[in-house]
Amino acid sequence: MTRTDNLYRLTSLPLSEELNTVLFQSKAIRIERIVSAGQVSGWYDQEENEFVCLLQGEAELTWEDGTATKLVAGDTVIIPQHKRHRVSYTSSEPPCIWLCVFWE
């Protein structure tokens, strides 16, 4: 089956919560589009590795050691499993569009 979609097509804004859409999932991999518009997160300690690409907007990840990584559109980062982090900033104009790939 062929599936088409547009990663930049958004529902109405502003978003009261992050919008998370699973684009593909198998036993080995999960691909998600996440849309953030000013939301931040608590601490993540994930069982999976994560490849992150920020397609639009600006964001900041804060690591357990207190350091931070600022991201702009086009930036990528690989987060190893169990590397504690949180999303400490997301822009709302434009909203952040993330493409995330998870695997063990």
In the three-class reduction of DSSP (H, G, I as helix; E, B as strand; rest coil), residue 89 is classed as strand
**Percent of the chain clearing pLDDT 70 (strictly above):** 97
Q: What's the pLDDT score for residue 3?
A: 73
**pLDDT tens digits, one per residue of 56-82:** 999 999 999 999 999 999 999 999 999
Would the pTM count as exceeding 0.85?
Answer: yes
- Whether residue 41 has pLDDT greater than 80: yes
Number of domains comprising the chain: 1
Contact between 73 and 85 (Cβ < 8 Å)? no
- Whether residue 103 has pLDDT greater than 80: yes
Residue of 65 and 14 predicted with greater confidence: 65
Tell me whether the omega of the peptide bond preceding residue 95 falls within 30 degrees of 0, making it cis: no
Residue 87 pLDDT class (50, 70, 90 cuts): very high
- In a domain, residue 88? The reply is yes
**pLDDT tens digits, one per residue of 17-29:** 899 999 999 999 9
- In a domain, residue 65? The reply is yes
The CATH number for 57's domain is 2.60.120.10
Cα–Cα distances in Å, from 102 out to 25, 39, 40, 72, 92? 9, 21, 20, 21, 25
- In a domain, residue 1? The reply is no
- In a domain, residue 3? The reply is no
Number of neighbouring beta carbons within 10 Å of residue 18: 18
Mean pLDDT of 31-52: 96
